[in-house]
Amino acid sequence: MAIPPEVAVFIERGIEVGKMCLPDHYPTPDNFAEFQAGYRYNAVTGEVLIGEQAGDFQPSWYVVAANYFDDPFYVDFLEQEAGFPVYFSFHGAGTWTPLRVAATLLDFTILLTALAETADDAAASVRLLRSIPDVENEFWQEVIEEYETSEPE
């Protein structure tokens, strides 16, 4: 499988912020197909899990990171011209409901990098998060709550 260059750069950076809701493990170019287990296919049975109905994991979606809970961050390979908007879904919810968490993969990279730089200052991280366009969605509200309720590191 050919991984688009923008996606390869993102996964090779592997930015970890240290919050359970945010990405903490990434595929590598060598294990990209295996990393899709549980989303695109069942790793035990080999059953294909993708589908084209609402709530299915769509054929053009590929997981580029997962958080502590194995909730996926993914892009749609058909949206390369749009800069690969980044989506998130809660794993194990029975259906896949995409929440856009960044307008582009580059925007997501910049945000994760900034959050990593403010890792020791929860208030600065929350201020940063409150400035992003998608801040009102369920995912970012959960991330903000994690920052506001976590112990200082």
Q: List the pLDDT tens digit at each of the 153 positions of the chain.
A: 799 999 999 999 999 999 999 999 999 999 999 999 999 998 899 889 999 999 999 999 999 999 999 999 999 999 999 999 999 999 876 789 999 999 999 999 999 999 999 988 999 999 999 999 989 999 999 999 999 997 655
Q: CA-CA distance, 148 to 153, in Å (whole number)?
A: 12
Q: CA-CA distance, 107 to 122, in Å (whole number)?
A: 20
pTM metric for this prediction: 0.93
- In this predicted structure, what is the pLDDT of residue 92? 73
The helix/strand/coil state of 64 is strand
